[in-house]
Amino acid sequence: HLLAWDNFQSTTIAKYNSINLIRSSAAVMILIQSACLNEEGQTFVLPLVGKLKKQISADPTLCPEYPSSLGLAEFTKRATEFALGKNSLALMENRVFGIQTIGCTGAVRLGAELLKHWYNTRAAWCGPVYLFARWEADSLASIFEAAGIQDIHYYFYWDAKQRDVCVEKLLADLEQAPEQSVVVLSASAHCPTGADLSEQHWALIIQLMMRRRLFPFILLPVQGLCCGDLQRDAWPVQHCASQGMELLCAQSFSHCFGLYGDGVGNLLCVLKQSSLLSAVQSQADRLVRALWARPSVGGARVVATVLSNPEEVKHIVERCMLIRERLRERLRLLGSPGCWDHLIKQRGLYCCTGLNGQQVEFLSKRRHVYLLPNGCLNVSAINSSNLDYIAESIHLALTSAL
């Protein structure tokens, strides 16, 4: 899910071919980082994480042997509970399991491989897969294609004119999807727009998917950084499971804990029958051994411990919401054309400003403010030191284009 953002970031920087100048110039504002940043512009790391890493490395009781190919059991158990809730009926009926993966990308790749071998037992499944609109999802498409799934389609998601999700067109596209299509959906903090589906929208989508026999593959790449509550961010996953649906869910904990180098992900599998659990786990074990053999357990041990007390995650969410409100207010005071309420309606790290390609080009060439080509940015890259300059730059981009 976040590969698209990373690709946009590298493409934009390469386009201007001035990365050394960018890093050396205090007047340049790079708003296309994929990492979560703090008020000082540094990569955010949960304070508790550093302490736990030291404790774990010094713990003589930890076994140095190879971990299971399916990962650290304590981590997958906690990650699964935070996605489904401890009182989930699917958990109680023992038809759920998690697999530790190499980040969210690894979870998507493993999920794609697993679908090929498990989803349709009567024949080898090879698609179609429905992704959100092409400019957001090319990197996701490449993951499925690498797994041998070439039948990729796109459903409408972001309406640039309305600066919001167009649910009517989304539903119309899914209505045309053949039975047994896999639909990739973002649970929360949609990347790169920050525009999420409401609970009412989810209810309509799930109703359609059940009627049309479509399979949900849900993404949770920044769990906890939308509402500040890891379980609340996973509400769509819980709702799907409560309706008795089979599903896959790709989780990542790198952003909310600052564990970018550890690649701590989880692939959650919810089955219809507990009798299938052993067979699907065995299939997953075989696939993992072919893909990466075994995951690293260092970051997973940290996450498993922090998940018992995730309150500190709320701080970065509150900061991002405050930045959104301040940016909207600055633009209003400057008299910038248009309504900017969409800035505070969107959630999470990412935001789609609504600026067009010409305006983004103006920002980069005239003001050295770098956004993605579609006008999206990382909200956490804005802070009290650069907020006024960024607001003034956006205002100039808008008024100069008139």
- Return the domain boundaries, the chain: 3-46+312-400, 57-306
Asked if the bond preceding 221 is cis, omega within 30° of 0, the reply is no
pTM of the entire predicted model: 0.86
Strands 215-220, 182-186: pairing kind:
parallel
Instruction: Work out the pLDDT band at 311, boundaries 50, 70, 90.
Output: low
Q: What's the whole-number mean pLDDT along residues 277-291?
A: 93
Q: How far apart are CA 282 and CA 239, in angstroms?
A: 27
Q: Tokens for 102, please give them.
A: 């190499």
CATH architecture of 57-306: 3-Layer(aba) Sandwich (3.40)
Give the residue, 58 or 311, on which the prediction is more confident.
Answer: 58
Closest to 98 measured CA to CA, from 122, 114, 117, 120: 114
User: Each residue of 153-210: pLDDT tens digit?
Assistant: 999 998 888 888 999 999 999 999 999 999 999 998 888 888 899 999 999 999 999 9
Classified as helix, coil or strand, 190 is: coil
Instruction: State the fold for domain 3-46+312-400.
Output: Aspartate Aminotransferase, domain 1 (3.90.1150)
* Percentage of the residues of the chain whose pLDDT score is greater than 90: 57
pLDDT in tens, 360-373: 999 999 999 999 88
How far separated are the first and last CA of the chain, in Å rounded? 35
Q: Are 230 and 224 in contact (CB under 8 A)?
A: yes
pLDDT: which is higher, 139 or 147: 147
- What tokens appear for 94 in the block? 């023992």
Reading phi first (left if > 0) and then psi (alpha if -120 to 50, else beta), residue 245 is in: beta
